[in-house]
Amino acid sequence: MEQEQKQTDNTIDLTQLLQLCRRHIWALILWSIGLALVGWGIANFVISPKYTSSAQILVNQKSNKNDPNAAYKTQQANMQLVNTYKDIVTSHVILQDASDRLANPVRVVKKAKPAKYRTNADGRRVLVRKAQPAVIERDGKSYSVSASQLAKNISVNTQQQSQVFSVSATADTPEKAKAEANAVARSFRDQIPNIMNIDNVTIVAPATNGVQSSPNVKLFTLAGFVIGLVLTFAVILIREMTNTTVRDDTYLTQDLGLTNLGYVSHFHVSSSFKLIKKNNNKPAAKREQRKRRRV
């Protein structure tokens, strides 16, 4: 019985909870907003941001255009090989070549041309045009990223019933994420003919400057707001349940079983109100003076 009485004493119904929230509404609002600002500050100034950039690749084997069945079979085979391409992209061969490209980023401005010869009537070869070497130039900033680091930064995303897959890179800066994604995509395009019998690899969409992927500022701000609201409400609720102060007469009459004999009204008195004490001894003093005069 005593345990049941204690449980009923510590129980708060929904009406009391709503009244409790109304009494402490400003504390709930201020603490929730305060912790939301703390979460926003942590996401923006404490945690280092990460940026992600993606490049899309299409692998399409050549098929016989005159045979629709062969073209359809080739397309289905390409879609089934997408998962294989995914494993090849993250292989050490591709990532090591991409690491070398990042260390020395160059691009071909003009392809090399072989020497051109002409055969005379007597069978001798005459040089018509000399061989022209390739013209290359530096392409962007160099980054020192090992193959093992690229394996952690690179992810490959595929879609069902599609021959296109994307290579995503995550880095500390938008430019670095772009460079890593493009380096891996170009390495795959150039190395896959040596690994498989594929000769038609196209980079559909090269990577652009990465966008911030973490931390999620909105999520951190929302989490701070919710944590502030829950913690503030928990503190208020604990203080309410551990407070033994008598606040109304229902506790005395219903819980303790005491009899209500009446109420003592409380009213406010203005500051100009004064109590004047009357001197009741003055009439008696005047009577004594009169008696003395008669004598």
Does residue 45 register a pLDDT over 80? Answer: yes
**Residue pLDDT, tens place only, 195-205:** 887 778 889 99
**Residue 1: inside a domain:** no
Residue 193 pLDDT exceeds 70: yes
What single DSSP character describes residue 106?
A: E
Residues 23 and 120 in one domain: no
pLDDT category of residue 69 using cuts at 50, 70 and 90: low
How many domains does the chain divide into?
A: 3
Residues with Cβ < 8 Å from 265, sequence gap 6 or more? none
Q: Characterize 145-162 residue by residue with b for buried, 16 or more Cβ atoms within 10 angstroms of its Cβ, and e for exposed.
A: bebeebeebbbbeeeeee
List all residues 6 or more positions away from 110 whose beta carbon is below 8 Å from its beta carbon.
Answer: 132, 134, 135
* Residue 285: pLDDT over 60: no
Establish whether the linkage from the previous residue to 215 is cis, with ω within 30° of 0.
yes
Determine the Cα–Cα distance for residues 32 and 268; give it in Å rounded to an integer.
37
Segment 169-182, tens digit of pLDDT: 999 999 999 999 99
Whether residues 156 and 62 share a domain: the answer is: yes
- Contacting residues for 137 by C-beta, under 8 A, at least 6 apart: 106, 107, 109
Could you tell me the pLDDT band of residue 103, with boundaries at 50, 70 and 90?
Answer: very high
Q: 53: pLDDT confidence band, cut at 50, 70 and 90? A: very high
What burial class does residue 249 get, using C-beta atoms within 10 Å of its C-beta: 0-12 exposed, 13-18 middle, 19+ buried? exposed
Residues 204-252: pLDDT tens digits? 999 999 999 999 999 999 999 999 999 999 999 898 888 777 767 777 7
Q: For 125-145, what is the mean pLDDT?
A: 85
3-state secondary structure of 277: coil
Structure tokens at 164: 């296109």
* pLDDT value of residue 275: 64
Q: Which domain range does residue 131 map to?
A: 106-139
For residues 36 and 225, the answer to whether their CB atoms sit within 8 Å is yes
65 and 209 inside one domain: yes
| Whether the predicted pLDDT of 136 surpasses 60 | yes
User: Residue 282 domain-assigned?
Assistant: no
Whether 126 and 151 share a structural domain: no
Q: Read off the pLDDT of each residue in 264-283 and give the average, rounded to a whole number.
A: 66
To the nearest whole percent, how much of the chain has pLDDT over 70? 80
Q: Are residues 134 and 152 in the same domain?
A: no
The per-residue pLDDT of the chain, averaged, comes to 82
Residue 171 domain-assigned?
yes
Q: Does the pLDDT at position 146 exceed 90?
A: yes
- The CATH number given to whatever domain includes residue 199 is 3.30.70.1130
Please tell me whether residues 158 and 226 are part of one structural domain. Answer: no
Work out the angle between the directed axes of helices 174-195 and 82-89 (0-180°, nearest 10): 120
pLDDT confidence of 4, banded at 50, 70, 90? Answer: very low
Which residues contact residue 255 at a Cβ distance below 8 angstroms, ignoring those fewer than 6 apart? 9
Asked if residue 145 lies in contact with residue 180, where contact means CB atoms within 8 angstroms, the answer is: yes
Residues 99 and 123 in one domain: no
